A and B are shown apart, each in its own frame.
Chain A
Amino acid sequence: MENHQFLFNFISEYTGDILAGVLIAIIPLALLLVYALVAIYGELKIASFIQLKLGPMRTGKWGLLQPVAEVFKLLQKEDITPDGADKPLFNLAPFIIFLGCYAALSVLPLSSHFAPSGLNIGLFFIIAISSLAVLGIVMGGWASNNKYSLIGAMRSVSQIISYEIPAAMCILGVASMAHSLDMNVISAQQQGGFWNWYVLGGPAGISKIWLIPFTVVMFIVYFVTSLAETNRTPFDVPEGESELVAGYHTEYSGMKFAFFYLAEYGNMFVVSAIMTVIFFGGWSSPFGDFLNSPIWQIFWFIAKSMFFVGLQIWLRWTLPRTRVDQLMYLCWKILLPLSMVCFLAMALGGMLY
């Protein structure tokens, strides 16, 4: 507990508590904004390279300023509120969605010495707070007074609520092995090389080998679930461009659309970060104590998370979209039994080691 508060105590010694709180809160926001620029650029470039194009090339060297340009474009666009829309809810929805993603960032341990909030039930908190996005989507979809938005919102809610169950199963599995819900503790347990990561059975010596298939399957289940929770292809049915025009954010433009956009990319980072923490050792270096100082830990954490963000982008430009009932089939009849079996195995592992 003290470790996480290290920075907070350090700042509040010199400034007031409120200022320290604000400063601590700004760090994840800055991280999120910078990350969003990088992720948008990465998405554009990876998509283009896969499709044998060059992507943005004109704004700056190799189009490096393209995401910045897009942000400015979105900022100066007209902010339209449709006439028939429910104005208070319509205007509130993007911020609620963004809130969910931003609040989830507050418990991510970037390094062994810094997490914005060292909550000891961090994983549980993330599961809970991600349900906020559901409400934001319903709010936006319903308030838009557009049938496409409404259908998109309905799909999104049923999708996210259903996929929370296998996701919770995966997190539970790791939690039962780690005997903790504290993300920093879970990361610390996996120190000492990639062999100790929970995707490879956790820190338990050679006898854990029988566990590896289960943990790997569990990781795949969580990865699939994370795609669904962030509404990414192949599970982007709520947006479903070819069916629902743009789904729940059909009517949004300008700044409010930018918030939806930001929240989507933010959520991608959050689920990737969770994946990193519970399966890939969080901030710990893959090579034991090599390069494992607190500053390097930030690098490892972000590098691992960005790898999964890249994987999500890669998948998006490869796969077609599933249908909404197939999505439910996948969740309830494939992912849930698989995660259940793996959870039992991991719980057994947790008892043994």
Chain B
Amino acid sequence: MINYLKNIIKGFSTILVGMKVTFINLFRPNVTVQYPNVHPLVRAGSDKMPDNARNKLNVIIPKCTGCKSCEKACPVNCITIETTKVASIDTEKPLMEDGKKRVFWLSQFDIDFAKCCFCGLCTIACPTSAIVHSTDFEYSCYDRNELLVHFSPFNKEQVAEKKRILAEEVKQKAEKALADKQAAEKAAQEQNITDSKIKSSDDQTSANQNIQNNSN
């Protein structure tokens, strides 16, 4: 009987203790923020989103060499890179940010944020830190295709133009090689044959490779 009453009183008192806790909390200041009004990037103090937060990827094109190591490092294959060699006859001779000569045009640099898992492996793999995480986390959209972001500075026509220039150069080279070859053959008739033959065949294979690249 005493136990019975004790249990009732114990149950009742623990409920009162719980009510006390919630009552105290009723008057505490709130800890949430009104998100679009108070943005995590501009919030003060320790609530602010840190600068190294891993959100939407950003590619700094002047830094990118087109080495494709980020593409290889990505565990979900969300990065697609296609490069086009900078033709030597191209009038536009861009420099990298650090002043070096650019070897590849980035004819295509796509990141599919629908696939991206924000692991940060691409930023670690990048030798020039051209691909970095930004603190921009608001990129929801109505169409899934909008998540496929093109970072390449060229549009389709420009890419076609660059490829045409490269093809032209390849053609010129091939013609030059052909001319060289003919000249060499001529010379070979006169002189020793073997050395020049190997050289011309080498040139031809490299030219073929370039053409294949462009057709891709």
Contact between A314 and B22 (Cβ–Cβ < 8 Å)?
Answer: yes
Q: How far is the CB of B173 from chain A (nearest CB, A)?
A: 66
Residues on B facing A (Cβ under 8 Å):
8, 12, 15, 18-19, 21-23, 25-32, 34
Contact between B32 and A318 (Cβ–Cβ < 8 Å)?
Answer: no
- Quick one: given A50-B25, A314-B22, A334-B8, are A319 and B30 in contact (CB under 8 Å)? no
Cα–Cα distance between A48 and B22 once the two chains are bound (Å): 11
Contact between A52 and B18 (Cβ–Cβ < 8 Å)?
Answer: no
Contact between B23 and A314 (Cβ–Cβ < 8 Å)?
Answer: yes
Contact between A53 and B30 (Cβ–Cβ < 8 Å)?
Answer: yes
B30: chain A residues within 8 A (beta carbon): 48-49, 52-54
Cα–Cα distance between A277 and B161 once the two chains are bound (Å): 89
Cα–Cα distance between A46 and B12 once the two chains are bound (Å): 22
Cα–Cα distance between A334 and B9 once the two chains are bound (Å): 11
15 more A-B residue pairs beyond the given contacts A57-B34, A319-B18, with a C-beta to C-beta distance below 8 A: A49-B25, A51-B25, A52-B28, A52-B29, A52-B30, A53-B30, A54-B34, A314-B19, A314-B23, A315-B19, A318-B18, A318-B21, A318-B22, A319-B15, A334-B8
Cα–Cα distance between A315 and B21 once the two chains are bound (Å): 11
Residues on A facing B (Cβ under 8 Å):
46, 48-54, 57, 220, 314-315, 317-319, 334, 338
A49: chain B residues within 8 A (beta carbon): 25-27, 30
A220: chain B residues within 8 A (beta carbon): 12
Closest 10 CB pairs of A and B: A318-B22, A52-B31, A50-B22, A318-B18, A53-B32, A49-B26, A54-B30, A52-B30, A318-B19, A50-B26
A315: chain B residues within 8 A (beta carbon): 19
Interchain Cβ contacts under 8 Å between A and B, 12 examples:
A50-B25, A52-B29, A52-B30, A52-B31, A53-B30, A53-B32, A54-B30, A315-B19, A317-B22, A318-B19, A319-B15, A334-B8
Contact between A46 and B26 (Cβ–Cβ < 8 Å)?
Answer: yes
B22: chain A residues within 8 A (beta carbon): 50, 314, 317-318
Cα–Cα distance between A195 and B129 once the two chains are bound (Å): 79
B18: chain A residues within 8 A (beta carbon): 318-319
B23: chain A residues within 8 A (beta carbon): 314
Cα–Cα distance between A50 and B23 once the two chains are bound (Å): 7
Interface of B is mostly: helix
Q: Indicate the member of B22, B25, B28 with the most A CB atoms within 10 Å.
A: B22
Closest A residue to B14 by beta carbon equals: A319
Q: How far is the CB of B29 from chain A (nearest CB, A)?
A: 8
Cα–Cα distance between A317 and B21 once the two chains are bound (Å): 11
Q: How far is the CB of A263 from chain B (nearest CB, A)?
A: 26
Cα–Cα distance between A48 and B31 once the two chains are bound (Å): 11
B21: chain A residues within 8 A (beta carbon): 318
Closest A residue to B25 by beta carbon equals: A50
Q: Indicate the member of A51, A53, A57, A338 with the most B CB atoms within 10 Å.
A: A51
Closest B residue to A48 by beta carbon equals: B30
Q: How far is the CB of A47 from chain B (nearest CB, A)?
A: 10
Cα–Cα distance between A104 and B19 once the two chains are bound (Å): 30
Cα–Cα distance between A334 and B3 once the two chains are bound (Å): 13
B27: chain A residues within 8 A (beta carbon): 49
B19: chain A residues within 8 A (beta carbon): 314-315, 318
A318: chain B residues within 8 A (beta carbon): 15, 18-19, 21-22
A52: chain B residues within 8 A (beta carbon): 25, 28-32
Cα–Cα distance between A194 and B181 once the two chains are bound (Å): 117
Cα–Cα distance between A282 and B49 once the two chains are bound (Å): 55
Closest A residue to B15 by beta carbon equals: A319
Q: How far is the CB of A220 from chain B (nearest CB, A)?
A: 8
B8: chain A residues within 8 A (beta carbon): 334, 338
Cα–Cα distance between A317 and B31 once the two chains are bound (Å): 18
Cα–Cα distance between A52 and B26 once the two chains are bound (Å): 7
Cα–Cα distance between A318 and B15 once the two chains are bound (Å): 8
Closest A residue to B20 by beta carbon equals: A318
Closest B residue to A234 by beta carbon equals: B15
Q: How far is the CB of B18 from chain A (nearest CB, A)?
A: 5
Q: How far is the CB of A63 from chain B (nearest CB, A)?
A: 11
Cα–Cα distance between A334 and B4 once the two chains are bound (Å): 9
Closest B residue to A337 by beta carbon equals: B4
Closest B residue to A330 by beta carbon equals: B11
Cα–Cα distance between A52 and B32 once the two chains are bound (Å): 7
